[in-house]
């Protein structure tokens, strides 16, 4: 299968184009074949070849193609350029003079074998240039992001090493006892701050999996970042009881509602089974 098996085609644009309407039916059919072949050539918006080659691609005679190219150029439907082919190029293309058709309205009757014709669709060329700009912008943005990430990791590593060296220097100058333990403690504080974001992500993932009602993940994650660490610990402490009281997820609060209303502070009402409820009702009746 081709890389691009389909093409955007707007019937209204095709029928309403005044330049194309001035062309003959034969020219419009040849132009459609050209556009399809341009699309197959990685949507580049242009096609190049001799008159003989292009006539085979467009499934028409050389005379019909020559007339179509002239009409497309005269009506400004497409951009048509020509350049002479050197002798080696003609030999490589295996084009012979005995295959030259009779030209109609062309001054040089050997034009089909001595000239390379390039036909450009202005619309496809413009769209292809837009896609190329987007591709370059994305590549540039990706490179900048990777460079910033690498730079940040390097700076963080250097800062950590700097703190460790300063701590060793302070400890050695003041003869502090337990210097090894002091260095380890300060180093651990630095590493804790380094992994703070990772721990935050992991704690949210843990809550998200435990709650098991996956709705509005992005909003829940933003709300989770604003919750204090002590409150997060309380959430993990009280959440199992709440989940046990609401085994049916359809009656469980939405996770965002739970976080916004601080549901971990609410009293958990234990759901009684039907058997237990019936027993309690019978016992209360007997006591009466």
Q: What percent of the chain has pLDDT over 90?
A: 26
pLDDT at 94 over 50: no
Considering only residues 116 and 190, tell me which one the structure prediction assigns the higher pLDDT.
Answer: 116
Q: What percent of the chain has pLDDT over 70?
A: 64
Considering only residues 280 and 56, tell me which one the structure prediction assigns the higher pLDDT.
Answer: 56
pLDDT value of residue 107: 39
Q: What average pLDDT score do residues 169-174 get?
A: 58
Considering only residues 174 and 230, tell me which one the structure prediction assigns the higher pLDDT.
Answer: 230
Which residue, among 231, 152, 223, has the nearest Cα to 194 in the 3D structure?
152
Which domains are seen in the chain, by residue range?
11-120 (1.10.10), 198-288 (no CATH)
Q: What average pLDDT score do residues 116-135 get?
A: 89
pLDDT digits (tens, 9 = 90+) for 126-168: 888 888 888 888 888 877 776 666 676 676 666 666 666 666 6
Q: Euclidean distance between the first and final Cα of the chain, in Å? A: 83
pLDDT digits (tens, 9 = 90+) for 5-32: 888 888 998 999 999 999 999 999 999 9
Considering only residues 254 and 111, tell me which one the structure prediction assigns the higher pLDDT.
Answer: 254
Res. 279 pLDDT band, cuts 50 70 90: low
Query: How is residue 88 written in tokens?
Result: 């080696």
pLDDT value of residue 136: 86
Res. 277 pLDDT band, cuts 50 70 90: low
pLDDT value of residue 119: 95
User: 108 in the Ramachandran plot: left (φ > 0), alpha (ψ -120 to 50) or beta?
Assistant: beta
pLDDT at 80 over 90: yes
Which residue, among 233, 273, 268, 236, has the nearest Cα to 252 in the 3D structure?
268
pLDDT digits (tens, 9 = 90+) for 229-255: 888 888 998 889 888 888 888 888 999
Q: What average pLDDT score do residues 163-187 get?
A: 56
Considering only residues 219 and 93, tell me which one the structure prediction assigns the higher pLDDT.
Answer: 219
pLDDT digits (tens, 9 = 90+) for 149-160: 667 667 666 666
């Amino acid at each position: 299968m081709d890389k691009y098996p389909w093409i955007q085609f707007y019937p209204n644009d095709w029928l309403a184009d005044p330049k194309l309407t001035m062309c003959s039916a034969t020219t419009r059919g040849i132009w459609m074949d050209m556009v399809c072949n341009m699309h197959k050539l990685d949507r580049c918006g242009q096609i190049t070849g001799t008159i003989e080659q292009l006539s085979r691609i467009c499934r028409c005679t050389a005379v019909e193609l020559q007339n179509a190219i002239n009409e497309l150029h005269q009506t400004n439907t497409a951009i048509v350029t020509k350049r002479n082919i050197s002798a080696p190029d003609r030999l490589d293309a295996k084009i012979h003079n005995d295959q030259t058709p009779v030209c109609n309205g062309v001054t040089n009757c050997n034009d089909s074998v001595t000239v390379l014709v390039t036909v450009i669709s202005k619309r496809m060329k413009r769209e292809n240039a837009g896609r190329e700009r987007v591709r370059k912008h994305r590549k540039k943005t990706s490179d900048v992001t990777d460079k910033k990430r690498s730079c940040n990791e390097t700076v963080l590593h250097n800062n950590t090493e700097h703190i460790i060296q300063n701590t060793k220097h302070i400890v050695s100058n003041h003869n502090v006892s337990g210097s090894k333990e002091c260095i380890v403690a300060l180093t651990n504080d630095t590493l804790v701050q380094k992994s703070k974001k990772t721990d935050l992500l992991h704690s949210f993932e843990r809550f998200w999996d435990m709650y098991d009602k996956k709705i509005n993940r992005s909003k829940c994650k933003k709300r989770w970042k604003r919750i204090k660490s002590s409150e997060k610990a309380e959430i993990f402490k009280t959440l199992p009881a709440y989940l046990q009281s609401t085994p049916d997820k359809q009656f469980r609060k939405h996770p965002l509602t739970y976080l916004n209303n601080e549901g971990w502070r609410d009293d958990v009402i234990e759901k009684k089974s039907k058997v237990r409820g019936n027993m309690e009702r019978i016992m209360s009746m007997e006591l009466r």
